[in-house]
Structure 1
Amino acid sequence: MEARDPELETVHLLRATTVELGLHSARFAYRNDMHPTDVRALIALMDARRAGEETTAGRLGAALGLNSAGTTALIDRLERAGQVRRVRSGADRRRVLIEPTERAVELGWSSFGPLIARAVELLRGYDAHQRAAVRDFLEGMREAAAGGG
């Protein structure tokens, strides 16, 4: 019998987890009559909001790999659905920012909140050193997937 490679087992488990998370996101998109790119856009906007960063249409398009026309169509679609709003920047009134609405945040929490709560619960079972190792591994994998390693 061939010995199992624990590192490769972990990589396969990460792949399986990624597939399940993708399916969860696809079910959310389907149930809410959204395109998968709409979900990615909302996640990007909520991440920026949590980080205290302003998001312009150009920045959102770059994050999603969309051209200007595709970004405008996406924002228009999300705005019609009540998921985002366009607002003027307080610092520069010429800049238009894209923000998720409270409706979008509530909708996201209704679907992803239990999953996030479970992740937090699991992480609380690890000590600080173990959490740092998990975080380092995931950050390294994210960078590799983004083409940085």
Structure 2
Amino acid sequence: MASGQENDVEANSAGSPPADLQRFAVALRRTIAEVNRLSHGFALAQGLHPTDVSALSFVLDSADPPTPGMLREHLGLTSGAVTACLDRLEKAGHIRRTRDSADRRVVHVHYVQDARAVARSYFLPLAQAAERTRARFDEAELAVVQRYLDALNAELGDLRVPRR
């Protein structure tokens, strides 16, 4: 066994994570913190709450316009908190709510096109940084990174957090 692997095994038996896992965890936390910092800046610039930006991201990333119930489940909020969030987003011009034509009880949340342009403009430096970084890797490396991110997101999506 290589000496680095021996150290990793010793660290595991002592109850602390291997050094490479620790470095990896620190890098992930730093990435999350940097994205959160930018998201909070957008929230501040738009007069929104950081949770509102998480809701907007969910609406943007959904294949079909989500319902408030889907947002509630994703964000781990109460129905009342989701309604307040949607009220703020609608008042700020970021979303609109529509009733389903087949079942008027069902509400769908849509990201307003002009608001998408505002978000796109704000987050352009983030997209450019991601593109500069992506350009440093070949297609095979990017495929591994994508596979890892997809697997991590699936694992994280399965985790349940306490509801508010």
1:32 to 46, 49, 63: 46
CA distance in structure 2 between the partners assigned to 1:45 and 1:147 by the alignment? 19
Larger Cα-atom Rg: 2
Relative to structure 1, the CA distance from residue 115 to residue 66 in structure 2 (aligned partners, 3 Å threshold; closer, same or farther) is: same
Match of 1:134 in 2: 145
Shift of 1:56: 1.2
Q: Distance in 2 between matches of 1:16 and 1:39?
A: 19
Q: Percent identity?
A: 32
Corresponding pairs, count: 143
Which runs of 5 or more residues in structure 2 are unaligned?
8-17, 160-164
Query: What displacement does 1:43 show?
Result: 0.5
Q: After the TM superposition, which residues 37-116 of structure 1 pair with which residues of structure 2 at under 5 Å, given as runs?
A: 37-48=51-62, 51=63, 53-90=64-101, 92-94=102-104, 95-116=106-127
* Structure 1: gaps (5+ residues): none
Deviation at 1:144, TM superposition (A): 4.2
Q: Report the residue type matching 2:87 in the other structure.
A: D
TM-score (norm 2): 0.75
Measured in 2, the distance between the counterparts of 1:23 and 1:125 equals 24
The DSSP-based 3-state class of the residue aligned with 2:124 is helix
Deviation at 1:113, TM superposition (A): 2.1
Q: Secondary structure at the match of 1:23?
A: helix
Q: Is the 8 A contact 2:48 2:88 kept in 1?
A: no
Greater Cα offset, 135-144 or 97-106: 135-144
Q: Find the aligned partners of 1:11 and 1:69 in 2 and give their Cα distance.
A: 35
Structure 1 pair 138–5 and aligned structure 2 pair: CA distance change class (3 A): same
* Partner AA of 2:46 in structure 1: N
Paired residue type of 1:132? A
- Counterpart of 2:10 in structure 1 is none
AA partner of residue 40 (structure 1): S
